[in-house]
Amino acid sequence: MTKVGNVSTSSVPRPEPTAPAGPLHRPWPPRPAAAGAPRGFLPALALFAGLRLAGILAVILTNELRGHPLVRNLAHSWDSRWYLHIATHGYGRLIWVGPTGAVQTDWAFFPLYPALIRALTTVLPLTPGQAGLLIAWTAAGVAAYGVYRVGHHLYGRGVATTLVALWAALPHAVELTLAYTESLFAALAAWSLYCVLKGRWLWAGSLAALAGLSRPSGVAVAVAVSLTAGYEVLRRRGRAPARLWAGALLAPLGWLGYVLWVGSRTGDVLGGYFSVQSAWGSRYDFGVGSVRFLKALLLHGGGVVYPAALLIIAVSVLLFVLLCLERAPLPLVVFSGVLVLLVLGGAGSFSSKPRFLLPAFPLLIPTARALARTWWLRRSPAVVVYGALALASLLAGAYVTAVAHSPL
């Protein structure tokens, strides 16, 4: 059984054999480097930054054509306004009574992102909106590098570059450049998973704890770290180092700590947070709410955003099946699987569900491997496919941000 650090990697797909000689005379995608820092990450990050910058420009151009403020919706869309208010005034200051009479409070929003905004505006002459965008854009770059490191560690430079490129071209990737928590969460998740793969358990647990403070779905990182650690303990028959135990115990503390804190503020330690989320229509009902919404969508239609969201969710489920068939490493499968289950079984705004899947970059691994093989054997089809994906991403991002009125 091959090992990387302290984590079993028997389920990691082996690098493909060298391609047979043929008229194209192109080498097969490079194999993973044996050790040391990966090479070739700058082109991947440049491609990511270029595409996401084009996405920002597409939003600005759409705002100009529609007579809207050019950049305001980048920092002041939907949930962004709640985060900025928390950063400025703290918790317990903003209450909204929804259309159904439910009392919605700012305790539904996790604290790490607004805390970083507050810290940045304290030391730099920035508005909360500017600070929120700076954090989101920086975190997006850190996340892209983390995605690259995971891909390079498992499959080498070619697949890693393709993985980053595909992640940048997702239809809902525009939210990586808004004042939302997805960039921050994705960065913490990617690096926590990378540390698990490398056997750096204390780092993995610490980053998972921070991910748990960034948004509700941070529990997916905690489950991935703790479950993988549990598997290692069983595989070693209990003879695991102290750092593995410590990482497993650290991982859920961020998410659990905030949930209990909200519960203490509401007077119901164990159930208070879930009552707060329920007032927002956000609860886990094992898909009952989603089925009802789909029925209404089929009967009455839903414009462009809702069918597109349904398509993204369906494709994500298919990609998860492919990820399992690839026998990907356990932490990547668990992380992606928990996020998919949260989306499938959770009630709430259906148009927001693709955003919840955005950090699940391991779902793109099967496609990245296939596209990397195509690139090395026949580049023209690969360029056409990726160009179409990138264009669709830019158009979708501009539409949902500057045109559609559905919640992001």
Query: Which tens digits make up the pLDDT trace of 42-96?
Result: 899 999 999 999 999 999 999 999 888 888 889 888 889 999 999 999 998 777 7
Q: What pLDDT, on a 0 to 100 scale, did the predictor assign at position 38?
A: 72
Q: What pLDDT, on a 0 to 100 scale, did the predictor assign at position 379?
A: 79
User: What ranges in 156-218 are assigned the alpha helix state H?
Assistant: 157-168, 182-198, 201-212
Dihedral sign, Cα of residue 165, residue 167, residue 172, residue 173: negative
pTM of the model: 0.87
**CA–CA distance, 203 with 36 (Å, rounded to integer):** 18
Residues 6+ apart with CB under 8 A from 237: none
Helical (H) or strand (E) element with 8: strand 7-8
The whole-angstrom distance between residue 232's C-alpha and the CA centroid of its chain comes to 25
Q: 308, 396 in Cβ contact below 8 A?
A: yes
Q: Which of 262, 271, 256, 213 lies closest to 107 in space, CA to CA?
A: 262
Report angle CA 154, 247, 337 to the nearest 5 degrees.
Answer: 55
Supply the DSSP symbol for 77: S
Tokens standing for residue 364? 């793109």
CB atoms within 10 A of CB 208: 34
**CA–CA distance, 306 with 399 (Å, rounded to integer):** 13
Helical (H) or strand (E) element with 97: strand 95-97
Question: What is the percent of the chain where pLDDT is above 90?
Answer: 60
Report angle CA 308, 158, 45 to the nearest 5 degrees.
Answer: 65
Tokens standing for residue 398? 């501009």
Q: What is the 3-state secondary structure (H, E, C) of 19-44?
A: CCCCCCCCCCCCCCCCCCCCCCHHHH
Q: Which has more pLDDT, 363 or 34?
A: 363
Q: What pLDDT, on a 0 to 100 scale, did the predictor assign at position 3?
A: 40
According to DSSP, the residues that pair with 4 across neighbouring strands are 7
Tokens standing for residue 200? 């750096």
**CA–CA distance, 401 with 408 (Å, rounded to integer):** 8
User: Helix, strand, or coil here: 104?
Assistant: strand
pLDDT(32) > 90: no
pLDDT class of 101 with cuts at 50, 70, 90: low
Length of the chain: 408
pLDDT(33) > 50: no
pLDDT(23) > 50: no
Tokens standing for residue 46? 């440049």
The whole-angstrom distance between residue 31's C-alpha and the CA centroid of its chain comes to 26
pLDDT(155) > 90: yes
Residue 92: how many CA atoms within 13 Å on its side-chain side? 4
Segment among 21-30, 137-146, 349-358, 367-376 with least mean pLDDT: 21-30
**CA–CA distance, 377 with 388 (Å, rounded to integer):** 19
254-290 exposure pattern, b = at least 16 Cβ within 10 A, e = fewer: bbeebbebbbebbeeeeebbbebbbbbebbbeeeebb
pLDDT(188) > 80: yes
210-249 exposure pattern, b = at least 16 Cβ within 10 A, e = fewer: bbbbbbbbbbbbbbbbbbbbeebeeeeeeebeebbeebbe
Tens-digit pLDDT profile for residues 326-339: 999 999 999 999 99
Residue 363: how many CA atoms within 13 Å on its side-chain side? 24
